[in-house]
């Protein structure tokens, strides 16, 4: 059934149906979302519907209908058609120190595969790729679709801000969920993420689903459920999708903070990055290259990604990309904080825990993030975590280093970062950055 007359949509009946555990007809759900996007359904009724979904969930068919409706509410891109070849993309569910896209894109492009990505800004302890890129002097994140396609042809990659006309229903619905305590519903999370990815026009996608203390998904089981739903949405839409479930119990890499993370991403592109971050970048690269039109498998994708790092072509591509979007890639031009304070180890031992959320909140308090969407971001401040889980330290060793604007904020951050560390006598069990793969 297709409903074209908004008057036929009765939101109260759909709310009651979901409240009672019923399943929506996909056409009715589609029209409900489109009517809401047209301001024909009031916020109070959609808030009630979200709460009903919170307790009753959505079926696979309902989640697919919701995703399709959000895509239909605005413009869509088809980058593959525009370029005449497969375009790949990567998305992360967000974490602390997650600068993966900045390092991954140039490696993929250096291997001859176009990567087009629309990214967002940070909120709370989770950093945003656009904020990090804007710490590069002159870097421009707002490109037109025509500029993005031209840059993909010329440079092989582009990371830009999401246009206002892309899935507007999702923006409106997410804002409502944010103020009604209905954000953490897996079907709505999956639909929100995948509507943006599908509308943005990539043919193959690697999804990095973070798991743990600093992530939205706290348990591996919840992360698997989210990954499974996102992959199902993508495959039903004809996309190739792999989900990497990755550790966010501690910050990714060493750097947390915008300019600091750009620095670390560049170091990783030239082969000098932290082991955990390097492994994640190469694993994602190998999967994306295997999805590309190069005709390679995951092992060959890994070899080519490592070669692009080793021979300098990835670094050369990074510099071309930054210049193409108006920035200067010279790391000496990144803004630096005036105050740097070490975080000394209080005793000998082994780092048994480094709480990602605590470090993220310490960086947020320094000004590296924003509490509301209107808050400014300080690109220079942040935290460098030298000691990670499993590392042996001696009393007085630098566990971390705080980068701050003044002594008072530095002192508070040193105390907060120290509280994020636990030091014991026995090393914790070892595991890699990738906890599972859903493919």
The C-alpha atoms of residue 135 and residue 139 are separated, in whole angstroms, by 8
Q: What's the pLDDT tens digit per position in 346-380?
A: 999 999 999 999 999 999 999 999 887 778 899 99
Task: State the catalytic residue, choosing from 89, 98, 131, 170.
Answer: 170
Task: State the catalytic residue, choosing from 18, 90, 91, 341.
Answer: 91
170 assigned to active site:
yes
101 assigned to active site:
no
The C-alpha atoms of residue 252 and residue 42 are separated, in whole angstroms, by 41
The C-alpha atoms of residue 233 and residue 313 are separated, in whole angstroms, by 35
Q: What's the pLDDT tens digit per position in 264-276?
A: 999 999 999 999 9
Query: What global pTM score does this model have?
Result: 0.93
Task: Tell me the sheet residues that pair with 190.
Answer: none
Q: What is the DSSP string of 225-271?
A: HHHHHHHHHHHHTT-EEEEEEEE-SS-SSSEESHHHHHHHHHHHHTT
Lowest mean pLDDT among 160-164, 172-176, 301-305, 327-331: 160-164
For the record, the structure tokens of 409 come out as 């904020």
Q: What's the pLDDT tens digit per position in 309-330?
A: 999 999 999 999 999 999 999 9
The C-alpha atoms of residue 316 and residue 298 are separated, in whole angstroms, by 24
Provide the mean pLDDT of the chain. 94
The arithmetic mean of pLDDT across residues 62-76, rounded, is 95
Task: State the catalytic residue, choosing from 101, 135, 192, 286.
Answer: 192
Q: What's the pLDDT tens digit per position in 129-142?
A: 999 999 999 999 99
Structure-token match 């947390």, residue found: 256
177 assigned to active site:
yes
- Given a cut of 70, whether residue 148 has pLDDT beyond it is yes
Q: Write down all domains in the chain, each with its CATH number in brackets.
A: 6-57 (1.20.970.10), 79-331 (3.40.1030.10), 336-424 (3.90.1170.30)
| Closest to 49 (Cα-Cα) out of 64, 66, 61 | 66
* Maximum mean pLDDT: which of 161-175, 176-190, 195-209, 403-417: 403-417
The arithmetic mean of pLDDT across residues 93-103, rounded, is 95
- Given a cut of 50, whether residue 16 has pLDDT beyond it is yes
| Closest to 245 (Cα-Cα) out of 280, 273, 277 | 280
Task: State the catalytic residue, choosing from 196, 231, 320, 370.
Answer: 196
- Given a cut of 50, whether residue 114 has pLDDT beyond it is yes
The C-alpha atoms of residue 424 and residue 355 are separated, in whole angstroms, by 15
Task: State the catalytic residue, choosing from 18, 24, 117, 177.
Answer: 177
pLDDT confidence of residue 9? 78
């Amino acid at each position: 059934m297709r409903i074209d007359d908004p008057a036929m949509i009765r939101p109260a009946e759909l709310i009651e149906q979901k409240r009672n555990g019923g399943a929506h007809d996909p056409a009715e759900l589609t029209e409900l979302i489109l009517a809401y996007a047209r301001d024909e359904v009031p916020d109070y009724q959609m808030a009630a519907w979200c709460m009903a979904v919170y307790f009753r969930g959505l079926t696979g068919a309902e989640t697919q209908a919701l995703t399709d409706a959000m895509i239909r509410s605005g413009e869509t891109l088809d980058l593959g058609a525009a370029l005449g070849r497969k375009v790949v993309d990567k998305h992360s569910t967000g974490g602390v120190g997650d600068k993966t896209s900045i390092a991954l894109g140039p490696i993929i492009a250096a291997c001859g595969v176009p990567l087009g990505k629309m990214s967002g800004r940070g909120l709370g302890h989770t950093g945003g790729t656009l904020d990090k890129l804007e710490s590069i002097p002159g870097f421009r994140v707002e490109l037109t679709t025509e500029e993005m396609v031209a840059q993909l042809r010329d440079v092989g990659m582009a990371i830009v801000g999401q246009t206002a006309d892309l899935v507007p229903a999702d923006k409106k619905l997410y804002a409502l969920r944010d103020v009604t305590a209905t954000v953490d519903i897996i079907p709505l999370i999956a639909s929100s993420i995948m509507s943006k990815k599908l509308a943005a026009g990539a043919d193959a996608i690697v999804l990095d689903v973070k798991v743990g203390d600093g992530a939205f998904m706290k348990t591996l089981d919840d992360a698997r459920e989210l990954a499974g739903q996102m992959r199902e949405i993508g495959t039903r839409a004809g996309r190739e999708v792999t989900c990497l479930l990755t550790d966010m119990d501690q910050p990714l890499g060493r750097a947390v903070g915008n300019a600091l993370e750009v620095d670390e991403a560049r170091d990783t592109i030239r082969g000098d990055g932290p082991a955990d971050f390097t492994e994640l970048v190469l694993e994602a690269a190998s999967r994306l290259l295997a999805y590309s039109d190069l005709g390679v498998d995951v092992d060959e994708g890994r070899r080519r990604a490592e070669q692009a790092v080793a021979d300098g072509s990835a670094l050369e591509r990074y510099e071309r990309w930054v210049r193409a979007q108006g920035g200067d890639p010279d790391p000496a031009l990144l803004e630096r904080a005036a105050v740097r304070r070490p975080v000394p180890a209080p005793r000998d031992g082994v780092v048994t825990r480094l709480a990602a959320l605590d470090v993220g909140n310490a960086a947020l308090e320094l000004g590296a993030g924003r509490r509301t969407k209107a808050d400014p971001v300080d690109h220079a401040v942040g935290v460098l975590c030298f000691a990670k889980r499993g590392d042996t330290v001696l009393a007085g060793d630098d566990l971390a280093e705080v980068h701050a604007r003044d002594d008072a904020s530095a002192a508070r951050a040193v105390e907060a970062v120290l509280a994020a560390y636990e030091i014991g006598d026995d090393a914790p069990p070892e595991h890699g950055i990738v906890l599972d793969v859903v493919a």
